[in-house]
Structure 1
Amino acid sequence: AIANNYKEQPETLDWLKERVLQDAHEDVRQQAVAAIANNYKEQPNILDWLKQQVLQNAHEDVRLIAVLAIANNYKEQPETLDWLKQQALNNAHEDVRMEAVNAIVQYYGEQPETFSWIEEFLLEQNPEEAEPILREVAQNHPDEAVRNWAEERLSNK
């Protein structure tokens, strides 16, 4: 509510960033990240700030919400998919790697080239993580073709 009602006030963004970094409550940190991503996404440095949170924030909840915020708010930017792929492959935090894969499936899963990447990632690079992700996709993805693809991959294991 504060971000929506006071986003034109210069101190609001700084206050929200402070909440992300210092608030003791997980839900406050999560809401602050979402508010920044949703209300300030047009500002030039917000995407870089969100990426920094993914890489450096000490709180798992902030890292995960930042991945989703980037995927959701910047999905039309060509470099976002490549950045998510990098995070899925190379991020130091397993939770971020998994969330990046989930974001790729959710936001780019209908693109044919994404199927190839997901298959390579899941079945060749991270076979131990493949089955839970494929099950999630097979059960819950909104696109029937994607669900069928995941079911086929599960049956071939």
Structure 2
Amino acid sequence: MILKTAVNADDWRVRTVALQELARGFKHDPNTLTILKANVSADSWKVRATALRELARGFKHDPDTLTILKTAATDDKELDVRAEAVEELARGFKDDSDTLTILKNVAINDNWRVRVVALRELAHTFKDDPQILSWLKTRATSDRDLDVRSVALRELAHTYKDDPQILPWLKTCATSNDGLDMQAEALQELARRFKEDSDTLTILKANTTADDWKVRVVALRELARGFKDDPDTLTILKMSAMSDDSDVRAVALQELARGFKHNPDTLTILKDSAKTNDSNVQKVALRELARGFKNDLDILNILKDCASSNDSNVQKAALRELARGFKDDPETLIILKARA
């Protein structure tokens, strides 16, 4: 009785919990199904989403459930409810003749957040459908939304890794600047899914000097983490630490500090970078110096100097590292109080 009353509470959080507990603990009560159906049209979208989920998972065989889900997947005014309905349709009603069509339509025509859900379900639930692979490739290369293109590419690289079409296709995407911002995404998937392929290392090295800084950053990161022992990796990172691009320099510094800490040049490069006029680079250098080279005699003084920087971002970074790593130095508290 308490749960049945709670489903009409003013607070949506109380209502969602009550619905969930009714559906899972009192499934066979004659009123539970009626209450769930009534709440698929509740004012609160979170209540509607909960009602849909519990209907789909607990009352799959009720003749109204499928119809309710189909309607919600295309007509509900709230995108999170549509996404919930799409997910439950794919997972619980894969064999219904309309499900595949609904998912494809949603994946093209809805808000990108709902489209991403539909894409993932198509890639996983309908993996064996002969049309899905080519359909996903089309979405990955020509969809209007970057997030959708990215998800499609990741699903292809992950779910269809063993398909003979995927590796050559990824290589093409990783080496062509098509203006769709997919090169960096393809490069990352190539490095992580196909590390052992003979072309992967060559493609990564080539892209450390790409025109697009996002591509260079991915190439550097994947080289440092996946190909640390290659004789060219350290040299490439050192050169990139002097790049004209702030983001490229920052990533190179981070990877040098974390993967090549004991190389004699790393500490010098970091110290020099802590004195640059680029606040983005300085922040990274200060963080890596303080956390990885705390016992070097120069680090404390470098942090103290930067704590009085005219650049507020650099000053905050220095103060943070002083407080975290040099709490016991007698000047740290004085500096922090002065900047408070």
Residue number among 146, 151, 156 corresponding to 1:31 in the alignment: 151
After superposition, residues 70-85 of structure 1 pair within 5 angstroms as 70-85=190-205
Richer in helix (by share): 1
- Are the counterparts in 1 of residues 260 and 266 from structure 2 also a CA contact under 8 Å? no
Q: Distance in 2 between matches of 1:97 and 1:57?
A: 16
- How do 1:96-135 residues align onto structure 2 when only pairs under 5 Å count? 96-109=215-228, 111=229, 114=230, 116-124=231-239, 127-128=242-243, 131-135=249-253
Q: Is the 8 A contact 1:137 1:150 kept in 2?
A: no
Q: Distance in 2 between matches of 1:69 and 1:75?
A: 9
Residues 29-62 of structure 1, C-alpha deviations (whole Å, 9 max, x = no match)? 11100011011222222112112222143222x2
Q: Tell me the alpha carbon deviations over residues 93-115 of structure 1, each in whole angstroms, 9 at most, x when there is no partner.
A: 33212211111112122x2xx3x
Identify the match of residue 170 of structure 2 among 50, 65, 83: 50
User: Per chain length, whose mean CA-contact separation is higher, i.e. which structure has more relative contact order (CA < 8 Å, sep 6+)?
Assistant: 1
Change (3 A) 1:149 1:67: farther
Contact 2:237 2:256 in 1 (8 A): no
| 2:184–2:214 contact (8 Å) kept in structure 1 | yes
Pair 1:131–1:103, CA change in 2 (3 A): same
Alpha carbons of 1:30 and 1:152: their partners in 2 closer, same or farther (altered >3 Å)?
same
Work out whether 1:13 is the aligned partner of 2:133: yes
Higher-Rg structure is 2
Opposite residue 19 of structure 1, the aligned amino acid is R
Identity %: 24
Aligned equivalents of 1:9, 1:126: Cα separation in 2: 47
Task: Please report the TM-score for the alignment, with normalisation by the length of structure 2.
Answer: 0.39
Q: Which residue of 1 aligns with 2:185?
A: 65
Give the CA deviation at 1:19. 1.0
Q: Partners of 1:64 and 1:18 in 2: how far apart?
A: 18
Residue number in structure 1 paired with 2:63: none
- Residue 86 of structure 1 pairs with residue 201 of structure 2: no
Tell me how far apart the structure 2 counterparts of residues 64 and 134 of structure 1 sit (CA, whole Å). Answer: 16
Determine the structure 1 residue equivalent to 2:307.
none
What are the Cα deviations for residues 43-86 of structure 1, in whole angstroms up to 9, with x where unaligned? Answer: 222112112222143222x2221111100110122332122112
> Could you tell me how far apart the structure 2 residues matched to 1:149 and 1:133 are?
18
Contact preservation (8 Å) 1:20, 1:30? yes
1:148 matched to 2:261? The reply is: yes
- Aligned positions, number: 146
Give yes or no for contact 2:241–2:250 (8 Å, CA) kept in 1: no
Find the residue that maps to 1:10 and give its secondary structure: coil
| CA spacing shift, 1:100–1:125, aligned 2, 3 Å | closer
Distance 2:263 2:148 in 1: 35
TM-score normalised per structure 1: 0.77
Q: Distance in 2 between matches of 1:95 and 1:149?
A: 28
